[in-house]
Structure 1
C-alpha cells in the first residue's frame, strides 16, 4: 500500500489545533492559494509531504493520531528514509517509531534502517522527531568504510553541523559503543568506550576506552582517541605492522610511520623499523597513477644493521649499512601509439634485503635484475629505437653489472626494389635488407665498492653496426635457394694491452750433478693484460648460399584398425645445405689504431710463448671479439627428421596423429679451404614427449671422424689429422653424449593421461565454494578430490652426460675411456592446498637432490581464517627462519597482531652458520 499523506496530515493537524485552541488565541492564517479557495495551515505542520508504505497492512488510529505500518514498512520525508518491519507514525507529535516485528515463527525480523542524505545506520529500535530532527536509538550499528560502530543507547541529531557550503552532517552521541572491523553481532575484538561522538563519514571521537577481545576487557587502555571515518585518501598515522623480539636486535617494531597523499595522483608512505639495540630501517614508498596514461611505484630504504660476533674476549660489534632502491613504471597501452616507456629498477648494496627482510623469497634470491627502457617506433622509416638501462646483481659473488646507456636502432625488413614497375613475382623484388646498430656502456664492480672512481676507470663502452641482405628464391618448384650477405663493424673505446710480468719469476738455489750451486727457476714470467683507453675497431664479413627442401615418406597398413591399432607411419625429412665464405683475417689490422686482430704468445714471451696460440686486444668486450679464420670456405649441412604415427581411436571416428619423435637433427660442416681436419664433429640431437606431454626427453650427441690425442708439451687434448676409420676401423667415434629427462606432473595432465581428454576442473576452490553457497544456500560438498590438488605440481629433472676421456699415457695399447656422470637428479614439489574453507597449506618449494643427497630449499606455510582474524605460520629451515602470527586481517585494525619470529641472524647463532 502506498498513499500520499499530505492532505490527510493537513486535515488531522488542523483538527488537532482547533480542538485545543482558545477563542482569543487563534493562530495566524497561512493561506494556500488554489483555484477556488484558501486553506488554513497549522504552524506545527511539516515543511514537506511524508510518503509511507507497507507490504502487509496499515492501521490508522484517529483517536491517538497514529498510523501503524506492518511488513517491510517505509517512511520518506525529504532526504530522510526509514525502513523497518513495524513503524508507528505519530502525526500529532511528528514522531516516528520503528522496531523489528515477529514473523510466523516468533523471530524478530526487519531491524530499523535509517538513512539521511547518504548517511545511514541500523538499530534495534528508533524514535525520531521530524520537526526537531532529533532521535533516540538503541543498539545502533553504523558502518564507515571498514569500521563497524556498535553502540548501546544513542542520541542523534540530523544536520547538526555544517560540513561545507552546501551540506550539513548528522551527529551521533552514543554510550557503551565498540569500534571494530568484525562484522559479527558479537564481534571478536574491538575498542570499547563509554562515551563517543560520531560524525558519519567524517570523524569519531572517543573518551576513556580499552581493547576488548572475545568480550573480555584487556589492560590496554586509552585516555581518549579518534577514528577518521572519511572515505578516500587522507594523512594519518600508520601503526606498526609487526612486533618482534630478537636476542641480537632486542625488542622492535616494524612499519610505524605516516601516510601522505600528495595531490590527486600520488601517495607517499614514510615508515621505519626500529630495534632497541641500534638496528633500524628508514623506508620511503610512493605510488602513482594517471588513468589511461601510466602507473607505478617507487621505494627507497636505508638500513643499518648492528650485529654482535662472539670473540675470545666477549662480543665484537659489527655495523653494516646499505640502501635498496626499487622503481616500477607501467605505461598504459592507450597512452601513445608509437612511444612506450616502462620497466623496473631493483638495486641494493651490501645485500641489505637478504640481511634484513625475514622472508624466504628475499633470502633465496641469487640474482637481482633491472630493466627500464623506452621504445620509439618510426612507421615511415620502418624502424625502431630502443634505449634504456639494464642491471644485473649477483648476490653470491657480490658483483654488479650496469649497462647505461644501452641503445639499439633496428630497421624492419625492407624490400627496396618492390616498388619498381613490373610483376611482383620478379626475383629481384624479393631482395630484403636489414640494418641495425647498438651503443652500450658497461660498469662492473663489487656492491661494496661500486660507487667509487675505480668503477668509472674500469668502465667499457662500444658501438656496433651491422647490415644484411638476402633473397628467397624458388628453384625447380621444390627447392628454396637463399643467398645472403652480412657485414658488421665493432668500435671499442678501450682495448687490452698484453705484457710480460717479470715480477712473478721465482728462483731457488740448487746443486747440479757435479755439486756446483746454481739458481733454479721455479716460477716463470706470466703474460698479463691491462685495459687501456683508445679507439679501436674490427670488422666481419660473411656470405652464404643455402638450399633446402622437404621429402615425405609414409607406410600404410591395409586393415581398418591397422596392426595392433597402428594404421601407418609418416616420415618428414628436411635437408638443407649452405655454402659459406669468410675472408682470411689472420693478419688483419685495425686501420684506426693500427692494432693487429691477433697476437701470438711467442711475440709477447719469446722464450716460453706458444707460437700457435693467439690472444686478441678485443677479448672480453661488450660485442665479442673477432674469430681467427684462414679464408673460411665451407659447406654446412643439416638433416631434420620428424616421425609420426597414425593410430586407430575407439572413442573417435577420426584417427589420431601421434608424434613419435618431434625432431631428430644431424648437422655438421665440411671445410673446403682447410688442408687438414676438413670434417667438423657431427652433432645429433633429438627430442620427444611421452605420456601426453608429462615427460620430455632431449638428447644430444657429438661424433668425431678424427681422433684426439694428448699433447705433453701443451698439456692439452687436440684433434689430429688421423681419421677414426683408418685408426680404429669405424667412420666416427662418440665424443660426448648429453641427455635431459624432465617430468612435470599436474592434475590437469594426470586427467588428460588417464581419462583420454582434458576435463573441466576447479581452478579456484574458494571461488567455487562461494558460487555454490550463493546458488544453493547449502554447504559445498567436494565432488572431485583432485580439484583440491589443482595447484600442485611435481617436477623431476635428470641430466646426465657421457664424455670420452683421452688416454694421456704414451704406453702402446692405452685406450680412451667413456665416463658417465649424472650432473643433476632432483625432484621438487610445489603447490597450495585448501584443506577446508578456512584452512590452507602452501608448499612454496620442497625437493630432494639425489646428486648431492640433500633436501633443496624447503619452504612451508599454512594459514587459518578466523573470520576477522588470521593465523599464519611459515618455516624456511634452509635459512633457519620461521614466522608465526595471529593478527587482524588487513584494514584499519591490522596493527593488532601477536607475532613470534626468528630472523636469520638468530637462527644462525642458534643452529650455526
Structure 2
C-alpha cells in the first residue's frame, strides 16, 4: 500500500504506513542499537501471567472498570491527544534485545530500561509494540520469586507494580499490583486504570503510611480515584489493623495530596468536662497564606455556654528572620445562671517569639519573647495545661533592638519588658527602656594602643539609661490609669579606673564613679487632717502624696580603691595515688567613700495631729533609679576567696596518661564591710558561700549563708552590741543536685560525654513535659530517633540492658531574725525515665515536701512507639491539677486525624 504526496503535509505514524514512514519509525527505535539478522539461541522468557489484557489498545472500548458511574469524574479534555509519537524512544537491556520485524516488537530482557520524553520505565522484561504504540513491562519469575518488578517514573511521580501496559500515544495505562507514594501516603492497588496524566482509577485499593512490607495498618476500599499530587477520593472504606478488619467504616473519604502547605479545615476533638459539660475543642481552619506566613484559627464550644478562641501564626523569611504569634481568649462559665454558684470570667493570653538571622544584619538585632495575659490564665484555662507556668508565679516578656554604630565606640539597645506576678496580680512594664553605651576608651594610651603605666591604663566608660515604667494591677491593664501612675527617668553614669602593680605581687585598682539622675516629676507630701492615720492609735491626720510635674535632678559620686593578690600553697604527698593538693587564696581589701547627698534634697512634713511630729522624706522616693544616698559612706570591704584542687595519679602505675586534676572545692568565699563613718552597727553581715562537685561532676553541692555579728532586741531589730558567740546565722540556703543514668555503669562510658550532673548549672527538669489537647504531648521526635537506632540492636534474652535516668534535687532554706526562726523550704524533687524496651518508655517527676510531710506536684508519662503509630498516656494523679490524657494515633501528619484521644482536664475552679 502506498501514498503519493503532491504537497507538503505533516506525516503521522500509523499502522501499515508507507515505506518512508516505516523507515523513519524503524530508525527512531533502533538508533545507536544493534539489530540481529537471525534469531539467536536464548533463554526461555518466563512470562508472568497478566490478567486478561484490557482493551486499552483500542481506546474506543470501555473496560469494566468504568461501568460504574463516577460522580467525581471530570469532563473529557477538549484538547485531543497527539496522534503521533513526539519523541525518541531509547532502550537497553543487560542480557539481550530481540527485534521481531514481522510483529513490529522489541523484547528487552534483564534490567531492561525504556526512556521516552519524561517517562522512564525499568523492569525485568519489557516488550515494545510500535505497531500499537504500547509497552508491556513485567518482572522475572525464578526459583527465588518474582523480582525486577516494573518501576514506572514520569516527572516526579514514581510507582512500582507487578506489570504494566502503557500506551505512548494516548498516555493511558493498565497496571496490576501497583505501589505508589503520594505525599507520604503509600497506596497498593490490585488493578489500576490510568486514563491520563491527571486521572487514575483503582480497584481494591489499600493505602497507609507504614513503610513495612506488611504494613501495620491500612485503609481498604473497593474503588478509588487518584489525581496525582492533588487528592484521593475513595468510596466505602474500612480500617484494617495487622490484617484484621476493624468496625471502623467510612462511607466515603477525601484525602488531599500535596507537597506544599495548603489551607483546610481542622477537625475538632470531643469530650466531657465535669463543670462545662460536653465540648468540641480545637476545631477550625488552617490558612496557608503564602510560603512565608500561615494562620490557624481554632475554637472551643461547651454545652454550658463557655467558649474559647485561639489564633496561631508562624512566619519565616529564610536568612532574615522567623517567629510565631498566638492569641488565646476563653469565656468561662460555671454554675447555673440565677443561682449563687454562677460565675463568669474571661481570660486571655498573648505569646510572641521572634528571632533574627545574624547574617541578615551584622550590626543590628531584633528579638522578641512575649508572654502576657490574665494572671490566672494558666490556672483556669480549659484547653491549656502548661506545667511549668502552672507551678510558677511570674510571666515575663522582652522585646529588644540592638544597634552598633560602626566607626564609633557607641552602641544602643532599646527594650520593652513585662513582668507579671500571678499571685499579687501586679504588672510591671517598661515602654520602653533605652540604653546607650560607650566602649571603654583609653585617652592616655601610647601609640598603637600601648598601655604600660597606670596613666596609659586609665580607662573611661559612659552609659545612659532612660526608662518609662508602668506598675499597675492587671485589672487596670490597658486603661488610662496605667499611664497616669507611670514613672519616667534618665540616668547617666561615668566611671574611670586603672591598675598598677605594687610590691610586685599586689594589684592596686583605684576608681571613680559619677551618676546624674533626671526625673520629670517629684513627690510633694502634705498633711491632711481628715484622713485616718496608718497608726490607728494616732486617729485622724496623715500625710498624702501629690505628684508635681517638672524637671528634677540629683547627682552623686563615689571614690574607691582596691588591693588584691593571689597566694598559692601546694601540699605534696609521696605515697598513694594522691600526688598533691593545691590551695588558691585570693584576698582583697577595698576602700570606698561617698558623701551625704540626701541632706540637700530632703523635706519634712507633719505626719500626725502633733505639729512637732515631723516626717523627713525625699522628693525622689520610689523613683526608677532610686534617691540620693543618705549619710556618709566611708567603708572598708574585705573579700576572701578560696579554691582547693587535687592531683591524682592513674590506677595503673605503668600508664602513660597524665595525672588527673580534681576540684575538691570550687569556691569558699567570705565578704564583709566596715563603715567608718557610721555611729553604730559599723559591721555589715558577713556573706559566705561554698560549692563543690563530686563523683565526676554528678553531684553538685552549694551553700550560702548570712552571718550577723550583732544582737537583736525583743522585736528582732539589730542593736549595737556584739553576739556572745562569734556570729548569728540569719539565712542559710543549701542545694544538692545529683544525676545518674545507666550509662554511668557501662565500662566504655566516656565521662566527657555526660552532660548531666553539673549541679545548679544544669538543673534537671523535675516538672515534666507540657500537655495540650490540641497536639497531644510534646514532640517526641528525638525519642523516636533514639528508638529507631536501638531497634537495630539485638538485646539478649537475659541480662538485657535497660536504659534509665534519675535526677534528684534537694533544697533547704532557713531564716532567723534572732527571735523566731523558720525553715521555709525543705523538699526533695526527683524525676527520670526508664526504657522498658527499645520502644517502651516510662517517665516520672515528683517530689516530697519534708516540712509539710506531703508529696509535691506529681506527673507520670507512658509512651510507646508503635512504628507507624504512637501512644501516650500522661497522668497527674492528685493535686489541684489532677488530670489524665490518653492518645493513640498515626505519626504521619497526612493522616494525623486518624487518632483516638481521651482526656480528663484539671478541675478548673474560678479562684
Q: Deviations over 1:80-102 (max 9, x none)?
A: 22223343344554432233333
Unaligned runs of 5+ in 2: 1-12, 32-81, 757-781
Q: Aligned runs of 1:134-533 on 2, under 5 Å?
A: 134-157=172-195, 160=196, 169-183=197-211, 192-206=220-234, 208-214=235-241, 216=245, 218=247, 220-222=249-251, 226-240=254-268, 242-308=269-335, 316-349=341-374, 351-354=376-379, 355-361=381-387, 363-418=390-445, 424-498=451-525, 524-525=539-540, 527=542, 530=545, 532-533=547-548
TM-score (norm 2): 0.80
CA distance in 2, matches of 1:77, 1:757: 57
CA distance in 1, matches of 2:477, 2:284: 31
CA contact (8 A) 2:501 2:507 kept: yes
Q: Aligned runs of 1:47-58 on 2, under 5 Å?
A: 48-55=87-94
CA distance in 2, matches of 1:858, 1:821: 26
Which residue does the alignment assign to 1:866?
A: 866
Unaligned runs of 5+ in 1: 1-16, 161-168, 508-519, 590-595, 807-818
TM-score (norm 1): 0.79
Following superposition, the deviation at residue 667 of structure 1 comes to 2.6
CA distance in 2, matches of 1:544, 1:667: 17
Which residue does the alignment assign to 1:534?
A: 549
Which residue does the alignment assign to 1:664?
A: 668
CA distance in 2, matches of 1:259, 1:31: 59
CA distance in 1, matches of 2:157, 2:291: 25
Q: Deviations over 1:781-807 (max 9, x none)?
A: 699977712xx342232325374625x
CA distance in 1, matches of 2:301, 2:790: 47
CA distance in 1, matches of 2:326, 2:533: 54
CA contact (8 A) 1:794 1:827 kept: no
Moved more, 846-855 or 654-663: 654-663
CA contact (8 A) 1:796 1:825 kept: no
Q: Deviations over 1:338-376 (max 9, x none)?
A: 111012222223633441224242544532211110000
Which residue does the alignment assign to 2:905?
A: 903
CA contact (8 A) 1:875 1:883 kept: yes
CA contact (8 A) 2:633 2:675 kept: yes
CA RMSD of aligned residues (A): 4.0
CA distance in 2, matches of 1:132, 1:302: 57
Q: 2:121 aligns with which of 82, 93, 118?
A: 82
CA distance in 1, matches of 2:264, 2:532: 70
Q: Deviations over 1:752-798 (max 9, x none)?
A: 9x99961768997754564576xxx7646699977712xx3422323
Q: 1:549 aligns with which of 543, 565, 568?
A: 565
Following superposition, the deviation at residue 120 of structure 1 comes to 2.3
Aligned length: 811
Q: Deviations over 1:828-867 (max 9, x none)?
A: 2223433323322232x21112122221111222222333
CA distance in 2, matches of 1:95, 1:757: 63
Local SS of the residue matching 1:892? helix
CA distance in 1, matches of 2:449, 2:394: 57
CA contact (8 A) 1:170 1:199 kept: yes
CA distance in 2, matches of 1:848, 1:305: 33
Moved more, 542-551 or 184-193: 184-193
Q: 1:433 to 1:388 in 2, by over 3 A?
A: same
CA distance in 1, matches of 2:882, 2:790: 42
Q: 1:785 to 1:461 in 2, by over 3 A?
A: farther
Following superposition, the deviation at residue 543 of structure 1 comes to 0.4
Moved more, 888-897 or 677-686: 677-686
Which residue does the alignment assign to 1:3?
A: none
CA contact (8 A) 2:531 2:542 kept: no
CA distance in 2, matches of 1:99, 1:778: 37
CA distance in 1, matches of 2:413, 2:439: 13
CA distance in 1, matches of 2:639, 2:101: 105
Following superposition, the deviation at residue 177 of structure 1 comes to 3.0
Q: 1:797 to 1:755 in 2, by over 3 A?
A: farther
Following superposition, the deviation at residue 483 of structure 1 comes to 1.0
1:688 equivalenced with 2:681 (yes/no): no
Which residue does the alignment assign to 2:759?
A: none
Following superposition, the deviation at residue 890 of structure 1 comes to 4.4
Local SS of the residue matching 2:677? coil
Which residue does the alignment assign to 2:811?
A: 798
